[in-house]
Each structure stands twice: as structure tokens, then as C-alpha cells.
Copies of this chain bind each other. A is one copy, B any other.
Amino acid sequence: MASPGSGFWSFGAEDGDNERDNPSTAKAWCQVAQKFTGGISSKLSCESLLYGEGEKSPDPGTKEEMSSENKGVPSPYDKEACKCQQRGNDFSFLYSTDLLPAKNGEADTLRFLQEVMDILLEYIVKTFDRSTKVIDFHYPNELLQGYNWELSEQPQPLDEILLNCKTTLQYAIKTGHPRYFNQLSTGLDMVGLAADWLTSTANTNMFTYEIAPVFVLLEYVTLKKMREMIGWPGGCGDGIFSPGGAISNLYAMLIARFKMFPEVKEKGMAAIPRLVAFASEHSHFSVKKGAAALGIGTDSVILIKCDERGKMMPTDLERRLIEVKQKGYVPFFVSATAGTTVYGAFDPLIAIADVCRKYKVWMHVDAAWGGGLLMSRKHRWKLNGVDRANSVTWNPHKMMGVPLQCSALLVREEGLMQNCNQMHASYLFQQDKHYDLSYDTGDKALQCGRHVDIFKLWLMWRAKGTTGFEVQIDKCLELAEYLYNKIKNREGYEMVFDGKPQHTNVCFWYIPPSMRNMEDNEERMSRLVKVAPVIKARMMEYGTTMVSYQPQGDKVNFFRMVISNPAATLQDIDFLTDEIERLGQDL
């Protein structure tokens, strides 16, 4: 390992190492590159690779191989040792000021961007290669001290910039890797990625049709389609793409409050009665975060009891609603969850809708995670009743595999968002422009500038069709069922709740051999709480796979497996359980 603070970017030595240590990966890459008849083949069928050690297939048996000496920050840069570096040298006398819009900057620009693209293409191929690591993990102080990340007065030449790109990707987590199960958003969709590159290149903002004509129209078309899938008549209603599910939920709460008390916009919470919101005890924390931000307060979010599967109990909802009304407070917002974060539970939407109608409360459905199931004829029944919601959060960046970030808030009543949020900024939303101003969507947003999140979803939908999303979603659910069937009666596993998973969440404890005959007492709990964190830490050090763990209520740390990556297969599920057993056997 380089001494901390050695402080420069290094790839040369690694490339040499890689060639020696991992000829099979190098060979596979070159075969791919040679098959490809376009431009990058000539550059990439070179005999050496850009990536370093630590990328080689980790051998489960040899923990020693991963000692700090091997997995540490690469050793200092050695120009002589690197063939690829000779290629890179082309950029050592070039600076960003030589690129467009510099005069005669086209050729250098194309060469530079193509070089970046080659780096990205190589990373993409590696992402799906099971012989590469999911992550080459280093502790924060190691990474901070091992390189010079500082920002200085003077510019760096473009070869340094290209090295920066490579280093960044070297330590990045491969979120598209078939064995990365850590988050609800996994996978790397090629059409979605291409669309995101195009979005970056178009580099515009969503607030007016004037500056984003096509994107504004695509948002219009796509939101309408999503509302149709929710089941609102004619796809009517409103909506917006927002920066993530938490903000979408905040939007919903904001609009619900405005609907009931429009004067709150001008006069604030002081002018209206005390409001109370409801969500299940398994709901996402963003409901509370939203209530805190909106000046409602987290104490005014009542968490409704769930059954053993994590579904909200409508009887408890009604009981608490009555209680609140008796105190003279105003229930204004019920957030049902369609696909909870940990259990993947679907709240009973029809029963909740009945309660909401009876007490005239805004019904929101947080389908950030479960909304994707609307694409599946086999699974969409789990959201039955969603058409009765007043608003729905649906994150295509989760189960539909759209690149981050892509979250929609759909609202049943048209015009409400606009009335709630508009401030009539005349310098942005001129009313005397020469086109139909209903396409200027900016004033209904909480934001001013708004990132273009629509194109990747729209283009993926074109490329897959609804049926394509259906196939990949059904497959993920099948894999979850396979895992469930595999471990439900297997020695060393305990399920957190009984029954087939409704979503792809499979929640379980792994019980190491030494604990299997222990009585269910405090000592056992105090040992069990440590099992998942240790296994997870070891997974990350080996870089072989990643899966999340957490406690929930009175249940101590358990694994929460989720599958949203179409790249995952039965073998990857088998790999995961093998890996848990390998890493946990000594605990």
C-alpha cells in the first residue's frame, strides 16, 4: 500500500499487475473489442487494460489475498511499466482550454470525449462481469489520504483528468453488477444510460417549453400514461417528476394541505387548525421528514399499526382518525404504502380508501418502490385500489430500473399543483409569449430549475414496451420467490415474517452454526444483532456481493434482500446464500 499522503494518481503499475494477474479478464475484453467493428476496437484491443488489481475474481477461500498490502491504494505511478499510458500521453499537453469552444478545438474535443467514452464502455462491460468485484472497498481515510483530491489554483492537463475518471470508477460501486443487492435501485439499463448521456448533452431545464420543448412534451405524454396505468379515468390529472421519492411525498402532503386549507399558502400554519397525518409504522421516514419541513411537526404524524406482514391495519387507522377528530384536530393526509422499504408490504388500499372517503381525508399512495408492479399483469392486483388515491408517488428508478434519478408524483385533480405552488414570477413565466403557455410547467413545481429526468424513462419505455418492463419485473419477483423457497426451511436461516414475499423483499436472519442450538434468550439476541453487520462488512471487504441489513421494531438486525436488477439470475441468488454461509460460519 502506498504510504498515506503519497498524493498522486496512479494507474501505471496497476495495469501491469492486471495483465499478469488476470489474463482471463483482459482476454475477454479484447475479444469483445475485436468483435466490435467500430472505432473503439482499434484502441481497446490493446493487450493491456486500464484497470488494476482488486478487479480480479476474488477467491472465496483466500482471505489473506485481501490483506491491506494487496487491497491498499495502488503503488506509485511508474511510466515505464504501462503501455496504456503511452496512449494517455497524447493528452498530457492538452488542457480544457484546448477543447470546444476553443478555436479549432473540434478534433481534440472529439478525441477527448471518445477517450472518456472508452473508459465508460470498459466500465460498463466490467459491471456485468461476475468475475469483477462489486466494490473495491477502502475506508474513508485510506481513500482521502491515498490520493490528491484537492482543488487548486492551477489547471491539470487532460491526461490527469482522464486518470481522475479512471480512479473514480475504480473505487465506485458497480450498482449494475448482478450481485449488488444493497438498495432498491440497482441495475444499469443500456438504453436508459444512453438517454441519460443525451440528457446531459442537451443540458437544459424543465421550467418552460421554450427551453425544453421535447422534454416537456415527453413528460406530458409519460405522466398521462402513468395516470392511465394507475386507473384514473382517461389518464386525467396532473403530476411532475421530482428529485426523489421523499420530495414526491412532500409534494403530496403540501398539495393535500393546500386543498383543504388554501389560505395556508399566504397565512401559514398559524391560520389553520392543527393538522394530523397518518402512515403505517413501516412507512418511509420521508412522511415524517415532510411533516417536519412543512411546519406540521413529526408529533402530528401518527404511525398506524401493521399486521405481522407489515401491512397497515385499516381498523387501527379508523380508530386513530376518530381519536384525532375527538381531540379537535384535523386529519388531512393518509399515506398508504405500496411496497414498504423493508418488508415490501402492500397496504390494503381499498380498505384504506374506504376509510379516507368516510372521513374525507386525502389519500396518498407511496408506491415509490411498488409502483413498478403496475406494469405486470401478474402482480398489479397488489395495488388494487390505487385508482382511488388522490396522489401517488411512483419511482421508475427503483423497480423499473431507470437510471437515478426518476421519481414521479401523480395527482388526480388537475390544476391543484399550479394553484398550490405558483408565485407568478414574471421574469420566467411571461404571460405574453407566442405559444400555448399550459406547457410551461415550472410554476407548479416547488423548485425553480428542474432537472430533466424524463427522457431516460420515456426512451426505455419505447425500447422495452410495457411488456418489456413486465418481463423484467416478473423475473425479479420470481427470483425473490426462489430465494424464499430455498431458505424458508433451510438450516441456519430464520424468516423475519412468514409467507411468500409480495414484493422482491426477502427478510431473514442467518444463524451461524455456533448459535443454532441456543435458547431464545437475551444472550442469543445480543449475539444475533452482530451477525449481519459482520457478514456485511466481510462482503464489502471481499467485494463479492452486497446486501442490506437493519433492525425493524423489536426485531434485531436481519438481512433484507431485494432484487430489482434484471441482470440477476438464479445462480446469483445461490451465490448470495453460499457467500453468507461462507462468511458467517465462524461467528
Contacts and interface: CB of A to CB of B under 8 A. Distances in A.
Nearest to A569: B101
B246 A178 contact: no
B149 A221 contact: yes
Contacts of A405: 205, 449, 451
Size band of the interface chain A makes with B = 35 or more
Secondary structure of the A contact surface, majority rule: helix
Given A116-B197, A405-B451, A447-B244, A254 B293 contact: yes
A38 B42 CA distance: 8
A212 B169 CA distance: 10
B183 A211 contact: yes
B198 A120 contact: yes
A112 interface: yes
B432 A463 contact: no
A270 interface: yes
B197 A117 contact: yes
A150 B289 CA distance: 36
Contacts of A150: 221, 225
B294 A294 contact: yes
Given A155-B463, A342-B427, A426-B550, 11 more contacts: A32-B106, A113-B124, A114-B117, A120-B197, A143-B217, A144-B217, A151-B462, A171-B214, A193-B203, A270-B274, A293-B293
A155 to B, nearest CB: 4
A303 interface: no
Interface string A63-98: 000000000000000000000000000000001110
Given A268-B295, A451-B451, A463 B158 contact: yes
A204 B175 CA distance: 7
A294 B557 CA distance: 35
Interface stretch (A280-288, A312-320, A384-392): A280-288
Contact of A152 (B33, B114, B246, B465): B465
16 contacts: A38-B110, A39-B40, A155-B462, A155-B467, A168-B202, A175-B202, A244-B447, A285-B423, A289-B446, A292-B421, A293-B293, A294-B294, A294-B295, A342-B427, A407-B449, A434-B537
Interface in A125-146: 125, 127-128, 135, 137-141, 143-144
A35 interface: yes
A297 interface: yes
A518 to B, nearest CB: 21
Interface string A331-349: 0000000000110000000
A358 interface: no
Contact of A296 (B178, B295, B566): B295
Contacts of A112: 190, 194
Contacts of A225: 150-151
A213 interface: yes
Given A106-B125, A468-B155, A404 B449 contact: yes
A165 B460 CA distance: 12
A436 B295 CA distance: 32
Contact of A266 (B115, B299, B425): B299
Interface string A170-208: 011101101000110100111101111110111111000
Nearest to A176: B203
B97 A468 contact: yes
A210 interface: yes
A171 B198 CA distance: 13
A404 B120 CA distance: 20
B269 A96 contact: no
Contacts of A524: none
Contacts of A432: 529-530, 533, 557
B448 A198 contact: no
A156 interface: yes
A48 interface: no
B288 A423 contact: yes
B36 A423 contact: no
B467 A153 contact: yes
A298 interface: yes
A112 B117 CA distance: 13
A403 B203 contact: yes
Q: Which 6 A-B pairs have the closest CB atoms?
A: A39-B39, A295-B295, A268-B297, A101-B567, A269-B269, A427-B550
Contacts of A189: 96
A232 interface: no
Contacts of A178: 101
A212 B185 CA distance: 13
Nearest to A172: B202
A27 B176 CA distance: 41
A38 B33 contact: no
A106 to B, nearest CB: 4
Nearest to A160: B462
A289 to B, nearest CB: 5
B164 A462 contact: yes
B288 A173 contact: no
A427 B107 CA distance: 49
A265 interface: yes
A464 interface: yes
Interface in A11-63: 32-33, 35-43
